[in-house]
Amino acid sequence: MDGAIRMMDMVPPGGSFTYDLPMQDAGFYWYHPHMSTEQDLERGLYGRVIVRHPDEPRVDCELPVVLDDILLDEDSLQIAPQDTDHMQLMGRLGNVLMANGRSDRRVEVKAGETMILRLVNAANARYFDLTLEGQQMRVVGTDGGWLPEEVPVDHLVLGPGERAIVAVDWVGAPGDELRLMNARFRLHDETASMVEYDPLGEGENPVMRFVIGDEPGTPTPMVLPQDDAPAAFTGEEPIAHTWVLDEQMEDGIVTIDGQSYPDVPTVMVDANVPTSFVIQNDSEMHHPFHLHGNRFQVRSVDGAPPLFDGWKDTFDIPPFASVQITSELDNPGEWMVHCHILEHAELGMAGFYMVE
pLDDT value for 230 = 82
pLDDT value for 80 = 87
Residues 6+ apart with CB under 8 A from 160: 91, 121, 122, 123, 124, 125, 126, 127, 288, 314, 340, 341, 342
pLDDT value for 77 = 81
Q: How far apart are CA 230 and CA 96, in angstroms?
A: 36
Sheet architecture: strand order including 253-256? 253-256, 239-248, 275-281, 322-327, 296-301, 311-312
Q: How far apart are CA 53 and CA 251, in angstroms?
A: 47
**Cβ neighbour number for residue 8 with a 10 Å cutoff:** 12
Q: Do 227-355 and 54-212 have the same topology in CATH?
A: yes
| Sequence spans of domains, the chain | 54-212, 227-355
Residues 6+ apart with CB under 8 A from 316: 127, 157, 159, 162, 286, 287, 288, 289
Q: How far apart are CA 88 and CA 130, in angstroms?
A: 25
Query: Residue 64: in which H helix or E strand, if any?
Result: strand 61-70
pLDDT value for 84 = 67
CB 220 within 8 A of CB 60: yes
Q: How far apart are CA 119 and CA 64, in angstroms?
A: 6
pLDDT value for 209 = 98
What homologous superfamily is domain 54-212 in, according to CATH? Cupredoxins -  blue copper proteins (2.60.40.420)
The amino acid at residue 122 is A
pLDDT value for 74 = 84
CATH assignment of 227-355?
2.60.40.420
Q: What share of the chain is helix, strand, coil (3-state, %, to 5)?
A: 5, 40, 50
- ω into 13 cis (within 30 of 0): no
Q: How far apart are CA 246 and CA 168, in angstroms?
A: 39
The length of the chain is: 356
pLDDT value for 81 = 82
Query: pLDDT by residue for the chain (356 residues), tens digit each?
Result: 777 767 777 888 999 989 888 888 889 999 998 888 888 989 999 999 999 999 998 898 999 999 999 999 988 788 888 766 667 778 899 999 999 999 999 999 999 999 999 999 999 999 999 999 999 999 999 998 899 999 999 999 999 999 999 999 999 999 999 999 999 999 987 776 667 889 999 999 999 999 999 999 989 888 999 887 788 888 889 999 999 999 987 777 899 999 999 999 999 999 999 999 999 999 999 999 999 999 999 999 999 999 888 999 999 999 999 999 999 999 999 999 999 999 999 999 999 999 99
Burial class (CB in 10 A: 0-12, 13-18, 19+), 129: middle
Q: How far apart are CA 294 and CA 149, in angstroms?
A: 23
Residue 187 phi/psi, 5-degree rounding, is -80, -20
pLDDT value for 252 = 79
Closest C-alpha to 136, from 148, 120, 151, 157:
151
